[in-house]
Structure 1
Amino acid sequence: MKTSDNQRESPVVHTRDLRMRYGSTDVLKGVDLTVGPGEVVALLGPNGAGKTTTIEILEGFRKRSGGEVSVLGVDPDRGDEAWRARLGVVLQSWRDHGRWRVRELLSYLTLFYEPYRERVFDPDELIGLVGLTDHADKRVGALSGGQRRRLDVAVGLIGHPDLLFLDEPTVGFDPEARRGFHEVVGRLTGTAILLTTHDLTEAEKLADRIVILVSGRVVADGTAAELADRIAGEAEVRYRLDGVEHVLSTADSTSYVRELFAEHGEAVDDLEVRRASLEEVYLALVRDSEHVAVSA
C-alpha cells in the first residue's frame, strides 16, 4: 500500500496523452495515468473501455499509436529482458503447466530471473505467501481453480517485481477463494499493483486509488471516498430523536453530527450517515460519460 513518501517518488507508471487506434477506430483517446511506488491502483470500466489495451501497452506487448509512456522509467517499446524481469504479470487465464509440481515449477522459473534480479523469491517462501504450502508437491493439474490462481500470483511474484499487473484476477472465484486471494494481495509490500476488475467491492477493498476508463478516456481518478464526493457532495444523515425520525442532507456531515450530539447527547439514537456507494458512483460516471460521448 502507498504511503505519503511514495507520492513524492518517481512514478512506476506514467502515461500522457496515450492513444491507440485500430484502423479507423480510436480505442484510447488521450489517457493520462500514474501509479506510484507501492501503490495499488484499480482500473475500472465497462467492456470495450480500453482497459486491456492500456495494460498490454504498459506491459510492452502492444505498440501504441501515440502519446508518452514510462514504466519503471523505460518506454515499454524499448524494454529489454532486464526491464521485463522487474515486472510481474498475472493474466486472466492460468498457465497450462499441468504436469509440473508446484514447487518444481517455481524452482525452474526462478532460473530466468536470477541473471537480472538481486533477490529472487525462495520457492518455499513464495508458496507459503500464497497459501499453497500443503499443495507444494501436487501437480498443477490437480489444483482447484482458486489454488491455480494463487499459483498464477506466485509465478508473477517470483522476481520480486517492482510492478505487478493483475488482469481480472478473481473471475469465476467463489466467495471463499476470492477472500483468500484478497488476503494474498494484502500481504504484498513494496510492489506497485495495477489491477483491472469488474468487481467494485474488490476494487474498493484492494485499491488505494480507482481510475475509471470509459470509451478510451479517463473519466474519474481518486479514492472511493473522493469519487463518491464527486457524485454526491452531500451526505444523508438519519437519526431518531425523542422517538421522531429525522432525515436530512448536508455537505458537512462531520460538523452536523458533532453539533447534534453537543446539543442532544444520548437522546440521539439510530444514527446513520450514508454516502453514495462505489457502485452508484461508478454507474453514474459511466452513464454520464457514455451520454456525452454519444452526444458529441
Structure 2
Amino acid sequence: MTAKKKRKWSYMPIGIFADPDLSPRDLQVMGVLCSSTNEYSICYRSQVKIAKLLRIGRTTVHRAIQKLIKAGWLEREGGKRKDGGSCSFIYRVINKDLLTADQADLFEPDLEEEAQRREEKRCENGRGLSTQADTYNNETIITIKDDDKAAASGANMRNARFPSHAKRQEDTPLKRYTNAVVSAIAELKPELDVARMSGGTNPIMGWFTVGCDLERDVKPAIAMVLERAPVLPRSLNYFTQAIISARKSRTEIAEINPRFVKDGGQAKVKRARELEASRRSCSNAIDELSAEFAAGGV
C-alpha cells in the first residue's frame, strides 16, 4: 500500500463482537479508539475526551480499556502526541483477525471475499452451495481459528481445491444481509448515507457473525435508536449496543419459553382471529335467540 493510499483510521476487528468477555460499553470505547487511529493503528486520544464523547465517566472508560487490554485487543504505552502535547498513554489496536502478525498495514475487510470463504468452506465439506438463495439464514462465517488454519496451509493453494462455480458466486447470505440493512436504514433515514459513515458497512459483518436476526433484532433496534438519536449517527457502531442487546433479550426469553416468538405481526393476526371468532359467536347466539322467539310466536 502506497503512502497516498494509507488509511487515516482502522476498522474494528471483526472477532471482537463475538468476545464473551466484553460488554457493549467496551465495544463503544473500542469503536472510538479505532476511529481515532492512524495507518499504524496508533491512537493518541485521551480517556477524558473518550468519556466526553460517549457521555460516560472516565472511570468507565478506564475500566473498558483495561478489559480490552486483558482480552488482547489493545496495547498501551506512554508517549507524546505529534503536536508536542502531553499524553499519558498511547494505544495500539491489535487486529487478531489478520492472517499475519504484521499490524503496521491493516487491510480493508472485503465483505464479498469474506462471504465467499464461507461458501468455499461448504464446498470443501462436500455440502455444495446454499439452495436457499432468497432467505436470510444467519450462518456464522469462518472463525479466527479457521483463518489461522488456512494461513498455515497456504492461502494460494485454495485455487486448486475448490470448484470454480463457488468463486463466481456473488449473491451470498452476508451480502444480502448487508444490502437489506442498508436498505432499511435508507427507508428510515433517507439523509443517512451509510457509504460515507465511519467504518462503512463493516459493523454489519459483526452483527451477522454473532447471529443477529435481520427482522427481529437489527431492524427494530435501528428504528428505535434513530427515533431517539439527538443527531445523525456518524458510524453504524452507534447501533451495535442496541442490536446486540435485542438479540440477547430474544435468545434469553427463547431459552425460558421455546415457543416465544418476538413478532408483533403474528400477535396482531392472532388477536384479529380471536376477535373475529368472538363476533361470529355473538352473532350466532343472537340468531338462535331470534329463531326461538320466532318459533314461540313472539
TM-score normalized by structure 2? 0.24
The structure with the largest alpha-carbon Rg is 2
More helix as a share of residues: 2
Structure with larger RCO (C-alpha < 8 A, sep 6+): 1
More strand as a share of residues: 1
TM-score normalized by structure 1? 0.24
